[in-house]
């Protein structure tokens, strides 16, 4: 038995979702939407299932999807890439796993930013990497040059970066991205840029892809997700974009994990990536409306929220909301005694966590948001 995986704790998502089911609670914890998917993309997948191939797809992905990724990023982000630089994966997490397994050798140090997506650390450690953590803290979650220099060493080989950021909902600014680019160029580092939330940004914000910065094209591995773009998280269709010298070893790691992704879903995603701007604008507007509805309801219920610039999440600041409890205590009592599940952000740290922030998923129907906030207000009363 492998002690690394055997000794991993149950994920916070499994724990809180299990408690939500046990207590018949409203689940505002796990980040999946219950609205927003485009019916024409579903229809395309159904038609491809009936009329297209249902055998193994090409290992690197259907040519039509790889070409669609190229066209999509050329149009929306100004990136000049080729289909040979695209590998389709079974979800973005598989893309991350393939990249980490391909790029990290035992003893390599990997720079990460905590709080962080919970798959990063187990994958880095499984590859034999040594995590070096930059600690981000509320309310602004900013990256500083001082923190980067303190974390990086001569043994650092890879940076893993997530923008827009889960769990904080931060869209990092151009100044912070330039700090990262300068570090990578100066230290000759590769960066694995997890940009799965790239289209779910609000208030006029725009993702600046790291690969588009001067000197970064040849050292950036970009990860994208159809599940996030089309609100179809169960499809598990993702992709990697990387220059040839990085794409080749990553595709080989992918070859020996999932090998290929369902072809009908790939065909549907290829169709979806070519949709008119109106779809992407409307999708953002719908999610922004849900965010605003949740933030307003939370404010009326006496909660103070942190800015949410991207992703599906709004966070509550417990201290500023007058709640004298840490995030784990609040979430445990909220689900057991008030019937609403949320996620303590301290669970996304490996060490020295912030303990005053609770994350909520706003990608829900209006009635779910209203009922969830009412129960959160009841949870707040438990600490008065």
Among 3.40.50.720, 3.40.50.300, 2.60.40.2470, 3.90.1150.10, name the CATH number for the domain at 3-30+278-381. 3.90.1150.10
How far apart, in whole angstroms, are the C-alpha atoms of residue 240 and residue 85? 8
How far apart, in whole angstroms, are the C-alpha atoms of residue 156 and residue 42? 43
In this structure, what token pair is assigned to residue 213? 């910065």
Per-domain residue ranges of the chain: 3-30+278-381, 39-275
Helix axes 244-255, 92-103, angle to 10 degrees: 110
CB-based burial label for 103 (10 Å; 0-12, 13-18, 19+): buried
Q: What is the mean pLDDT of the chain?
A: 96
pLDDT at 5 over 70: no
Query: CB-based contacts of 115: which residues, under 8 Å, 6+ apart?
Result: 136, 167, 168, 345, 346, 348, 349, 353, 354
**Which pLDDT tens digit goes with each residue over 223-280?**
999 999 999 999 999 999 999 999 999 999 999 999 999 999 999 999 999 999 999 9
pLDDT at 1 over 70: no
How far apart, in whole angstroms, are the C-alpha atoms of residue 135 and residue 177? 16
Query: Which pairing describes strands 109-114 and 343-344: parallel, antiparallel, or unpaired?
Result: unpaired
Instruction: Output 83-87 pairs: Cβ under 8 A, ≥24 positions apart.
Output: 84/244, 84/247, 85/241, 85/242, 85/243, 85/244, 85/247, 86/60, 86/61, 86/239, 86/240, 86/241, 86/247, 87/60, 87/61, 87/239, 87/240, 87/242, 87/247, 87/250, 87/251, 87/254
The band of 384, judged by pLDDT with boundaries at 50, 70 and 90, is confident
**pLDDT for res 20:** 87
**pLDDT for res 51:** 96
Which top CATH class is 39-275?
alpha beta
CB distance 199 to 312 below 8 Å:
no
CB distance 35 to 286 below 8 Å:
yes
Residue 36 vs residue 199, higher pLDDT: 199
How far apart, in whole angstroms, are the C-alpha atoms of residue 269 and residue 74? 16
pTM of the model: 0.95
Cα-Cα-Cα-Cα dihedral sign, residues 165, 311, 277, 51: positive
H or E stretch at 300: helix 277-300
The band of 30, judged by pLDDT with boundaries at 50, 70 and 90, is confident
Calculate mean pLDDT across residues 71-79: 98
How far apart, in whole angstroms, are the C-alpha atoms of residue 334 and residue 26? 10
Please name which of 103, 143, 95 lies closest in space to residue 124, comparing C-alpha atoms: 103
**Which pLDDT tens digit goes with each residue over 310-358?**
999 999 999 999 999 999 999 999 999 999 999 999 999 999 999 999 9
First to last CA, the chain: 47
How far apart, in whole angstroms, are the C-alpha atoms of residue 282 and residue 302? 30
Calculate mean pLDDT across residues 69-89: 98
The band of 105, judged by pLDDT with boundaries at 50, 70 and 90, is very high
**pLDDT for res 17:** 87
């Amino acid at each position: 038995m492998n002690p690394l995986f055997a000794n991993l704790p149950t994920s916070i998502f499994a724990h809180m979702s299990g408690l939500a089911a046990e207590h018949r609670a409203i689940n505002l914890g796990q980040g999946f939407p219950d609205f927003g998917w485009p019916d024409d993309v579903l229809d395309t997948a159904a038609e491809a299932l009936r009329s297209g191939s249902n055998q193994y797809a090409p290992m690197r992905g259907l040519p039509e999807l790889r070409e669609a990724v190229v066209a999509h990023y050329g149009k929306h982000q100004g990136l000049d890439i080729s289909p040979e630089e695209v590998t389709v994966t079974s979800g973005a997490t598989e893309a991350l796993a393939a990249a980490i397994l391909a790029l990290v050798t035992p003893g390599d140090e990997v720079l990460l930013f905590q709080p962080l997506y919970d798959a990063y650390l187990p994958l880095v450690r499984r590859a034999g990497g040594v995590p070096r953590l930059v600690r981000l803290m509320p309310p602004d979650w900013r990256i500083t040059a001082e923190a980067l220099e303190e974390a990086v060493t001569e043994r650092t080989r890879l940076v893993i970066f997530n923008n827009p950021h889960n769990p904080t909902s931060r869209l990092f600014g151009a100044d912070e991205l330039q700090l990262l680019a300068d570090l990578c160029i100066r230290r000759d580092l590769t960066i694995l840029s997890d940009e799965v939330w790239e289209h779910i940004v609000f208030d006029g914000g725009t993702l600046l892809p790291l690969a588009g910065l001067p000197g970064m094209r040849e050292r950036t591995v970009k990860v994208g997700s159809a599940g996030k773009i089309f609100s179809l998280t169960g499809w598990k269709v993702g992709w990697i974009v990387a220059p040839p010298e990085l794409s080749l070893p990553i595709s080989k790691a992918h070859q020996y994990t999932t090998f290929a992704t369902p072809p009908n879903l790939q065909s549907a995603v290829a169709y979806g990536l070519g949709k008119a701007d109106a779809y992407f604008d409307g999708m953002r507007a719908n999610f922004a409306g849900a965010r605003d509805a949740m933030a307003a309801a939370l404010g009326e219920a006496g909660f103070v929220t942190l800015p949410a610039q991207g992703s599906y999440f709004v966070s509550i600041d417990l201290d500023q909301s007058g709640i004298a409890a840490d995030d784990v205590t609040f979430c445990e009592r909220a689900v057991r005694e008030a019937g609403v599940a949320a996620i303590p952000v301290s669970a996304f740290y490996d060490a020295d966590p912030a303990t005053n922030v609770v994350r909520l998923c706003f990608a829900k129907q209006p009635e779910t948001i209203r009922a969830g906030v009412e129960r959160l207000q009841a949870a707040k009363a438990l600490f008065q």
